[in-house]
Each structure stands twice: as C-alpha cells, then as structure tokens.
C-alpha cells in the first residue's frame, strides 16, 4: 500500500483520542497478510490517509473515524488552531489593543459532536481567545442567532446536518470585528476559507496544539432570546386552532420547535414520538433528510391518525424545513410540498410585509439561488420589491444586502435575516404555521394559495435529475462534454442560450451550466457540493390558461419530456 506503516504510526502518536488510536492499530494488525480481510484493511487505511480532510466554504465534513481523511479530535484540534490563528491576526489588525477574539460554539447530537465542540473551546482558550460554548446540543440556527446576538467574532457549529449517520462536520461563521454589514454572521466564503485552510495546514500535530480549560459555558439566556425572537415572528391576529404534526427526524430541533409553537399559541401539537428524541443513528429513516422518499412516512401516518391540518418536518440540525398538507387527490390523502413551493409561499408572505414596511428588519430584497424557481423574482416585482439571484448555498444567499427573505430549493429558508443570517428551519416552521392560520381565517389553505400564485405568475413546475457516481472523474468529463457540445434542443425545443457560470459574469465563478430553451424551459447542471452526484435542476413555465389546473397538467407533460431529454443528454452510467 502507498501509505506506509510509519505514516500511520506517526498519526497514532499524535492523536489525542485513545479510541481512534485503537482503530488504526487494529487496522494495521489486520492489514498484515494476503487474505481478503487484510486487503480490505489496507484499502481502508489508504482511504483514511488519502489526504487531509479538505477545509472549504462548507468547513469540514466527512465520516467519523481515525486518520487525516476523517472527522476526529485530531483533525478538529488542528482546524480550531488554524481558525484561532486567523482570528487572532484579523482581530488584532481590526482592533489593536482591544479585547480578545470571541468564538461561540454549538453542536448537535451526532457521534463525536460534544467532544469536537469542547476541543474547539479548549484550543481557542489556549490561543488567547474567549470561547463561549452553548450549554447543550442544539439546532444550527440557534448557533447562527447566538453569533449575531452576542456580537462574537466567529461561530463554530459541529454538525453534518442531514448527512448519513456516520458523518460529522464543522461549519464556520464570521461576525463581530471580522465580518461586518450583510456578511456579519454568515458562513465563510473565499478568500476566507483559503486563508483559514492555510493556517490549518501550518498547525502542528494535534497533540502539540495547546489546549486550556477555562472556557465559558453559556446559560439559558441565549436560547431564551432566540425563542422570544421566534415568537415575535407570529402576530397575534390569527386563529390558533390548527392541528400540527411535527417531526425532528431524530435531530436536535424538536424541543425548541414545540416550545416556540406553543408560546406563539399553537398548542394542538403532535410530535412523532419515534423521532422526537436525538439519536445519532437515525434508526427509523434510511437517510435523515425530509426530502428523501419515506422520511416522512411516520409523520404522515400520525397526521392521518389525528386528522391534522399541517405537518412540519425539520432535518436533524433543524436548519431546513419541509411541509406536508392534506390533499384529497394525492395517494394517502397528503402531499409533501416541494422546496420551491414552500419558497414562493414564504416569499410572497415576506414580499407583502416588506412592501408595506412590516418586515422585522429594514430589508426589501428577496433572494433565491440560481437553481431555485424563477417565480420568486416575479413575486418580488409584483410587490414592488427587489430580487437577487445568487449561487447555491446560504453562504451566498444570506450575504445579500438589504435581505428580507432568501431561499434555496433544498428546503432552506431565511425568514428573519436580522436575527439569523442563515437558513433556519424553526423560524420557517413558525411562519408557515402563521400562514396556514391566516389562510384558515379566510377559508383557504396552502394549496389554494399556490393556485393563486400560479394564476398571477404562471405555473412553475420544477424537478431534478441526479446521477450518483463512484468515480468523480465521470462528473468532470460530463461537464467538459456539455461545455464543448451543448445540446441544440431539449424536449423538442431549441436551446437558445447556454450560460457557463465558470466564467463569472454577474455571479462569482462556479462549476455550472444554464440551458434555456425557446419555450422558456430551463435546465441548470452542476456537480453537488456535498455528495458524489451530478445534479440537474429543471423548470417548466406555463401560462395559467384556460385555468391553472389545465396549465399544471400541461406543465407536467412537458416536464416528463424534459426529464427524458436531460437523462439522454447526460448519458452517464449508474453505479
């Protein structure tokens, strides 16, 4: 094997955690010999030492385990050392002679999260910074709120969001004296990620990174302030009679969501008991993401049993929110809304309040990612407010100046950017409960509200085609081929414009292509930022004539043809 026994032993010597040291010792012992078990152990060692876990705009994310290409205490200590060195330098320049740099730290209930958070606090403290550790595991938006609320210079959230159970991650936000204006409290982007990564690379081996006791454990005041802010998002003038089923998908948002809903007056609440408590193994779901098939089966069964009006689902770190509503035309009598459908409902709500000066902040801009539905732009213009298109990810959406509302189709929504400059599945759930209550007062529901939006702005049907690969080179090859020979037509309609976002333009350069047809259909092709997938985002727009239901049928037929055309265009083998 290319990784040597000496390299593995050197890592073991500098690993502060006996459990992960023992993992590598067992792998080394098993790797000796010529049988299948030895070959598998050698392959595992090769993977664990394939290189350092890359620190980028998503921070760190990977499988928990021993070795430089895994999430473990050794990797986290060096990451914290690099971040602390960066903050000390930037804050020292911005505020010479001022107070030490401050980092607020949160964590979810995944394997290793609490240890990674405490290690970060210990490294920051030893580096002369002030580490503020949230008192228990909690949702990502609480950390994002705490960063702005406490005016800290940085925030670290230990989470892998909706990744598989074996993963964990390390998200970094900047604020205080390091990032100001609309970037205050937002996840890092270039060049900050590269500057931090360079300092991580220069950090000593993990056992040589200084650590110290003495960090601060925050009291309940920050969570209480967050709850009060959540409740303030729901005005008092509405009915409270709706019945809501919630699921936390074994994550950390359930208690906070229930408390916020209850304080806001929504007391007819029914949690999915099997998924209410944090469990890092996510035993009832194949994949802990509300968008995945089957993830809401238990919630929908509960909703049918109690005759609920609404299902609200958060992902495990509660920064995303999904919704299901009663629908007599759907199988099982319930329909889960798409991320775009939720986005335009919340966006129309936000646009109306922003247009009439009722928004909590001063924002008058609606923002959505380039892969999200174009309907939000039409909604914004109809209300007389502005719209911005950004790259995918809330590190871009949340830093839009004068932001009133932002969303991406992957069920991420920022409804209160003044308080949380990131996606927040709990505040989104509160606003959706409020919207449902408003509509109930008028004898309407969310499906009717979607029909009204379609009548005003056209039917916008969206879908995805994704190809998962084992060999990432297949994705690179497919993107190169599409750039060199883009299709002349899709679904029988000429492609009239091809935009290569790697060349920049109005957006920062990114690896993506936009194909626009003469009929107005749009396809955005891009590699996934978190999974080994090539993803295509499809949108078909139909005028609502003679009525919206006929237009939806026409859009569905066109979407079927467009999906087939995109699959032919990709021509990539399934793994």
Instruction: Give the tens place of pLDDT for each residue, 536-566.
Output: 999 999 999 999 999 999 999 999 999 999 9
Average pLDDT (303-322) is 98
Q: Give 446's contacts (C-beta < 8 A, 6+ positions apart).
A: 310, 323, 325, 337, 345, 435, 436, 439
Tell me what pLDDT residue 254 has. 98
3-state secondary structure of 494: strand
161 part of the active site: yes
**What sign for the dihedral angle of Cα 78, 80, 81, 82?**
positive
CB atoms near residue 286 (< 10 Å): 11
What is the per-residue pLDDT across 319-368, written as a single tens digit (0 to 9) for each?
Answer: 999 999 999 999 999 999 999 999 999 999 999 887 655 555 667 899 99
Backbone phi, psi, residue 389, to 5° = -100, 135
pLDDT tens across 374-411, in order? Answer: 999 999 999 999 999 999 999 999 999 999 999 999 99
Helices 221-232, 425-441: inter-axial angle, 10-degree rounding: 30
pLDDT at residue number 496:
97
Query: In this structure, what are the phi and psi dihedrals at residue 200, rounded to the nearest 5 degrees?
Result: -65, -45
User: Phi and psi of 117, rounded to 5°?
Assistant: -65, -45
Measure the CA–CA gap between 440 and 546, rounded to whole angstroms. Answer: 27
Work out the pLDDT band at 504, boundaries 50, 70, 90: low
Instruction: Enumerate the β-bridge partners of residue 131.
Output: 103
Task: Place 248 in a pLDDT band, splitting at 50, 70 and 90.
Answer: very high
Nearest to 71 by CA among 27, 106, 115: 115
Across the range 467-490, mean pLDDT stands at: 92
What average pLDDT does range 259-288 have in this prediction? 96
Q: Which two tokens stand for residue 17?
A: 């955690």
With a CB cutoff of 8 Å and minimum separation 6, the contacts of 558 are 461, 491, 519, 521, 540, 542
Pull the structure tokens for residue 20.
Answer: 């992960």
Per-chain mean pLDDT for the chain? 94
Helix axes of 425-441 and 254-263: crossing angle, nearest 10 degrees = 40
Closest to 86 measured CA to CA, from 196, 236, 245:
196
Catalytic hit among 2, 99, 113, 161: 161
Distance CA 172, CA 444 (A): 42
Q: What is the pLDDT of residue 350?
A: 94
Cis peptide bond prior to 384, omega within 30° of 0? no
Q: What pLDDT is recorded for position 84? A: 98
Paired tokens of 481: 């081929």
- Is the pLDDT reported for residue 491 higher than 80? yes
Where do the domains of the chain lie, and which CATH numbers do they carry? Answer: 1-50 (no CATH), 54-219 (3.40.120.10), 221-454 (3.40.120.10), 458-570 (3.30.310.50)
Cα–Cα distance measured from residue 69 to residue 91, given in angstroms and rounded to the nearest whole number: 30
Q: 219-244 burial, b if ≥16 CB within 10 A, otherwise e?
A: eeebbebbbebbbebbeeebeeebeb
Decide: 361 and 350 in contact? Cβ < 8 Å: no
Measured distance CA(144)–CA(417) in Å, rounded: 10
CA distances from residue 204 to 62, 82, 377, 436 in whole angstroms, order as listed: 21, 10, 49, 54
């Amino acid at each position: 094997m290319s990784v040597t026994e000496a390299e593995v032993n050197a890592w073991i010597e500098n690993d502060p955690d006996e459990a992960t040291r023992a993992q590598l010792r067992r792998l080394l012992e098993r790797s000796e010999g010529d049988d299948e078990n030895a070959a598998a152990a050698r392959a595992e060692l090769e993977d664990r030492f394939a290189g350092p876990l890359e620190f980028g705009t998503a921070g760190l994310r990977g499988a928990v385990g021993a070795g430089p290409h895994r999430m473990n205490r050794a990797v986290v200590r060096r990451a914290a050392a690099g971040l602390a060195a960066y903050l000390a330098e930037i804050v020292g320049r911005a505020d010479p002679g001022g107070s030490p740099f401050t980092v607020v730290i949160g964590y979810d209930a995944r394997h290793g999260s609490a240890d990674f958070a405490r290690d970060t606090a210990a490294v920051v403290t030893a580096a002369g910074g002030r580490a503020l550790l949230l008192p228990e595991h909690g949702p990502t938006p609480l950390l994002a709120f705490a960063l702005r609320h406490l005016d800290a210079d940085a925030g670290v959230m230990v989470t892998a969001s909706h990744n598989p159970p074996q993963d964990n991650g390390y998200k970094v936000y900047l604020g205080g004296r390091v990032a100001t204006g609309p970037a205050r409290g937002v996840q890092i982007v270039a060049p900050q990620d590269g500057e931090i990564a360079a300092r991580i690379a220069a950090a000593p081996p993990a056992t040589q990174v200084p650590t110290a006791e003495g960090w601060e454990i925050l009291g309940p005041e920050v969570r209480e302030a967050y709850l009060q802010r959540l409740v303030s998002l729901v005005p008092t003038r509405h009915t409270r009679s709706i019945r809501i089923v919630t699921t936390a998908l074994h994550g950390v948002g359930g208690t906070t969501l229930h408390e916020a809903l209850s304080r806001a007056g929504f007391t007819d609440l029914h949690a999915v008991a099997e998924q209410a408590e944090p469990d890092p193994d996510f035993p009832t779901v194949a994949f802990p993401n509300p968008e995945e098939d089957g993830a809401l089966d238990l919630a929908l069964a509960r909703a049918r049993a109690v005759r609920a009006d609404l299902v609200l689902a958060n992902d495990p770190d509660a920064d995303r929110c999904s919704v299901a509503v009663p629908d007599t035309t759907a199988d099982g009598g319930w329909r889960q809304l798409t991320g775009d459908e939720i986005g335009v409902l919340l966006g129309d709500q936000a646009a109306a309040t922003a247009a009439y000066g009722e928004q909590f902040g001063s924002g008058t801009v609606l923002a959505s990612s380039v892969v999200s539905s174009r309907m939000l732009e039409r909604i914004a213009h109809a209300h007389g407010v502005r719209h911005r298109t950004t790259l995918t990810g809330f590190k871009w959406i949340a830093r839009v100046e004068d932001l009133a509302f932002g969303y991406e189709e992957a069920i991420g929504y920022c409804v209160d950017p003044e308080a949380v400059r990131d996606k927040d599945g709990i505040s989104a759930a509160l606003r959706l409960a409020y919207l449902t209550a408003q509509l109930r007062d008028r004898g309407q529901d969310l499906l009717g509200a979607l029909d009204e939006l379609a009548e005003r702005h056209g039917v916008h049907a969206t879908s995805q085609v994704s190809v998962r690969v084992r060999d990432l080179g297949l994705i690179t090859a497919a993107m190169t081929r599409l750039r060199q020979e883009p299709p002349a037509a899709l679904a029988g309609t000429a492609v009239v414009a091809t935009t290569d976002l790697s060349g920049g333009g109005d957006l920062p350069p990114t690896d993506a292509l936009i194909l626009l047809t003469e009929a107005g259909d749009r396809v955005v092709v891009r590699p996934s930022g978190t999974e080994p997938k090539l993803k295509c985002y499809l949108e078909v727009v139909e005028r609502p004539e003679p009525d919206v239901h006929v237009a939806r049928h026409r859009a569905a037929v066109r979407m079927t043809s467009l999906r087939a055309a995109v699959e032919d265009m990709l021509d990539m083998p399934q793994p």
